[in-house]
A and B are shown apart, each in its own frame.
Chain A
Amino acid sequence: AAGVIQSPRHLIKEKRETATLKCYPISRHDTVYWYQQGPGQDPQFLISFYEKMQSDKGSIPDRFSAQQFSDYHSELNMSSLELGDSALYFCASSETSFPDTQYFGPGTRLTVL
């Protein structure tokens, strides 16, 4: 079965530009999570969606927004990019039935110059 798909895999942007990261969950998974992993750091939760509604919010900057669409794919929109936004961004999806194992995508590596 196909896993979580993220696009693009690599993205290079200049400071103050905007970026959009996309995530396509596993079929029938209704929950999507976004995580940020800075260089040498552990993944940090940003935001999650269940059935197209925001379900939880972590340390996501106000410059970032996200949404989940009717086909369950999700997009993370990042504006006014800063050098510190350079990181790996992972999307994960899960079903709502316990143990709601999260399946992670390969990540998008964002580099802000």
Chain B
Amino acid sequence: DAKTTQPNSMESNEEEPVHLPCNHSTISGTDYIHWYRQLPSQGPEYVIHGLTSNVNNRMASLAIAEDRKSSTLILHRATLRDAAVYYCILRESQMNRDDKIIFGKGTRLHILP
């Protein structure tokens, strides 16, 4: 499986934007980039996914490099509730019912009030 590399931890001030980087230099052409996050004492939750173009949803934005070897999850205005571990995950685009999620180390995001 293609691997991802993320910083162990990051800090940000409340109400400021946060940019969470992810490197995936061995990404294949059929891999989608997914982000999940896990808030304290909760199960992981889906945040966003993309293939080549930048993506926006109500939770975040995903900026994907032109060569697709890196991506950045953007939280436009962090709140204390955004403190969580953020996982960058590659998943194949083909419909594969064995498509378990392989969680890497993720980035622990601390939000400072």
Chain B binding surface SS class: loop
Interface residues on B, range: 20 to 34
Please pick, from A43, A101, A105, the residue contacting B103 in the complex, using a CB distance under 8 A: A43
Given the known inter-chain contacts A98-B93, A99-B49, A99-B91, please indicate yes or no for A58 contacting B43, CB distance below 8 A: no
Cβ distance B71 to chain A, nearest Cβ, rounded Å: 15
Report B25-44 CB contacts with A as 1/0, cut-off 8 Å.
00000001010101000111
In chain B, what residue has the closest Cβ to A99?
B49
In chain B, what residue has the closest Cβ to A96?
B97
Please pick, from B44, B99, B106, the residue contacting A100 in the complex, using a CB distance under 8 A: B99
Given the known inter-chain contacts A42-B105, A42-B106, A99-B49, please indicate yes or no for A104 contacting B91, CB distance below 8 A: no
Contacts of B99 in A (CB 8 A): 100
Please give the number of chain A residues whose Cβ is less than 8 angstroms from any Cβ of chain B in the complex.
27
Q: Is the CB of A42 within 8 A of B100?
A: no
Cβ distance A38 to chain B, nearest Cβ, rounded Å: 12
What number of A-B contacts does a CB cutoff of 8 Å give?
A: 61
Q: How far is the CA of A100 from the CA of B34 in the complex (A)?
A: 11
**Contact residues, B41-73 vs A (CB, 8 A):** 42-46, 49
Q: Is the CB of B103 within 8 A of A42?
A: yes
Cβ distance A25 to chain B, nearest Cβ, rounded Å: 13
Q: Is the CB of A44 within 8 A of B44?
A: no
Verify if A31 is at the interface (C-beta below 8 Å from B): yes
In chain A, what residue has the closest Cβ to B49?
A99
A-B contact pairs, 29 of them (CB 8 A): A31-B97, A33-B100, A42-B85, A42-B103, A42-B104, A42-B106, A43-B38, A45-B100, A48-B100, A50-B97, A55-B97, A55-B98, A56-B98, A56-B100, A92-B43, A92-B101, A96-B97, A98-B95, A99-B91, A101-B49, A102-B36, A102-B44, A102-B46, A102-B101, A103-B45, A105-B43, A106-B43, A107-B42, A107-B43
Q: Which chain B residues have a beta carbon within 8 Å of chain A's beta carbons? A: 32, 34, 36, 38, 42-46, 49, 85, 87, 91, 93, 95, 97-106
